[in-house]
Amino acid sequence: MAELVRAYGRGLAAVFAGLTAVWLVLMVALPMANMTKRAFTLEIRDGPSAQMRVELERARQQIAVIDFDIAAAETEIARGSAPAAAPSPSDPFAGLTGRASPGMAAPSPGGGGAEPPEARIERLRAERAEAVAAIPAMAAEVERLRAGEDARAGLSVENFTTMSPLHWRVFGLTFLYCVAVTTIALVVCYPVAYAVAQAQGTGRAGLLLLGLVVPYAINELLRIFAWTMILANNGILNGALDALGVIDLEGGETIRWLASNGSVFAVMVYAYVLFMVFPIYNAIETLERAQIEAARDLGASVWRIHRRVVIPHAKPGIAVGCIMTFMLSAGSISVPGLVGPGLHPDWFSQIIYRNFFEAANWNVGSARALMLLILSTAFIIGVMRAFGVGVKEIAK
């Protein structure tokens, strides 16, 4: 902080510190805290208290209905002296003077007169008293159940423990798939990054890099759609195979590329390849060329040069690339969504998405998201251990 003040002056340093604080609190700490709280809060939506509350509500409605009936009966009694049972035409608003419209009164006034209004009021009053008497007990029951549920809900791991076996399977598969994507990306990108970093002359390296970067000027969704066009049943790939005579499109012979693990992998590697290439490229570029030549001069094979000289040097870059590719593929929703619908099992990120935006169950969604976060963090720590690099080297 003192250094910042010295370098940029008090005002700018304060702005930096303020922005950093805002970022840390608003962008990182608060959302994380909220998500964590939700994840560990059980929201019981159709538990016994909810059912009891429905019954309580029903009882209250019942009382209101009885009140209507009593009011109707009272109106009848008030008119009892009048000979006409039906509302008088001279008084068309008579029905509106009561507390309810006449049509609402259950028994028709002229309905055979099976029960005199007085007796009906008596009966209704008894019913009402009974219903009103029952309400406190029900309310108490609701409170009791709620308290029970709240005690269970307050801090609970149930959002995690109640995950279905299917979702657990998807969780595990997502991890394995993402590891596979990361591995494939590493295998593809390391030679590319090495070639670009070693390319003679800045022109060639620039051209190679440009070739890698330009496709990334296109929106990610469009890049993925481009792949669905290639891989579709009547797409470019099958068309090419048809032209080569491998398959017969006209005859309805197609190879189903979409909705398979292979195509999801291929598209995902393509989608995130740059995040693997750049860190490795940057790391290899700082390797003194003479070291590679020295190793070669001492008789080392290509494999040994890479294993003993290049890869140890590029380790931090490889670790960063692996971490980024893993995180991006674990969180990817567009690639499995667009390329993999159908045969391909869901990606865990899709389950999170549905919990938030289709089931509107944010607490469960938060729990799932938190699981993915923990998985990713574990992966990062694992990779850093495996490569023997610390945060410092990665920061470089």
Partner 1 sequence: MLDQARMQGREVALDGLSMRFGDFTAVHPTDLTIRAGEFFSILGPSGCGKTTVLRAISGFAAPSAGRVLIGGDDVTALGPNRRPTALIFQSLALFPLMTVWENVAFGLEARGMARAERRRRADALLELVALEGQGDKRPAQLSGGQRQRVAVARALAVEPAVLLLDEPLSALDLKLRQHMRAELKAIQRRTGVTFVYITHDQGEALTMSDRIAVMNAGRIEQVDAANVIYDRPETPFVATFVGEQNVFEGRVESVAEGFAAVATPQGRFRAIDRAGLAPGEAAAVMVRPERTAPAANAPSDANRFTARVERIDMEGPYLIAHLRAGDAAAALHVPNLAGAAAGLTGAVEAAFRPEDAAAFRPGGRARG
Residues that bind partner 1 (CB under 8 A): 288, 290-291, 293-301, 304, 308-309, 312-313
CB 185, min distance to partner 1, A? 24
Q: Which two tokens stand for residue 318?
A: 């490889």
Of 103 and 299, CB closest to partner 1: 299
Q: With respect to partner 1, which residue has the nearer C-beta, 105 or 389? A: 389
Write down the H helix ranges in the chain.
2-22, 30-39, 48-79, 94-97, 117-153, 158-161, 165-198, 202-213, 220-231, 236-244, 261-285, 289-297, 302-305, 311-331, 334-339, 348-357, 362-387, 391-395
Tokens standing for residue 59: 């009882």
Nearest to partner 1 of 82, 294 (CB atom): 294
Instruction: Give the single-character DSSP code of 85.
Output: S
Residue 15 half-sphere exposure toward CB, CA atoms < 13 A: 4
> Which is closer to partner 1, CB of 130 or CB of 288?
288
How far apart are alpha carbons 72 and 354 in whole angstroms?
A: 51
How near is the Cβ of 203 to partner 1 at its closest, in Å?
14
Q: Indicate the length of the chain as a whole number.
A: 396
In the complex, the smallest distance separating the C-beta of residue 304 from partner 1, rounded to whole angstroms, is: 6
Q: How far is the CB of 392 from partner 1 (least distance, A)?
A: 15
Residue nearer to partner 1 on the CB measure, 144 or 308: 308
Q: How far is the CB of 202 from partner 1 (least distance, A)?
A: 17
Cβ contact 271:220 at 8 Å:
yes
Comparison of 231 and 311: residue with beta carbon closer to partner 1: 311
Q: How far is the CB of 297 from partner 1 (least distance, A)?
A: 5
Are the C-beta atoms of residues 317 and 205 closer than 8 Å to each other?
A: no
Distance separating alpha carbons of residues 119 and 249, to the nearest angstrom: 85
- Minimum CB–partner distance for residue 310 and partner 1 (Å): 11
Buried b (16+ CB within 10 A) or exposed e, 282-319: bbbeebeeeebeebeeeebeeeebbeebbbebbbbbbb
Closest to 379 (Cα-Cα) out of 340, 328, 332: 328
Q: Closer CB to partner 1, residue 197 or residue 330?
A: 197
Helix/strand/coil (H/E/C) assignment for every residue in 42-58: CCCCCCHHHHHHHHHHH
CB nearer to partner 1: give 11 or 203: 203
Cβ(325)–Cβ(190) below 8 Å: no
Minimum distance of partner 1 from residue 264's CB (angstroms): 37
Shortest spacing between CB 269 and partner 1, in angstroms:
29
Give the C-alpha separation, 389 to 34, whole Å.
32
Comparing CB distances to partner 1, the nearer of 253 and 288 is 288
CA distance 284 to 251: 51
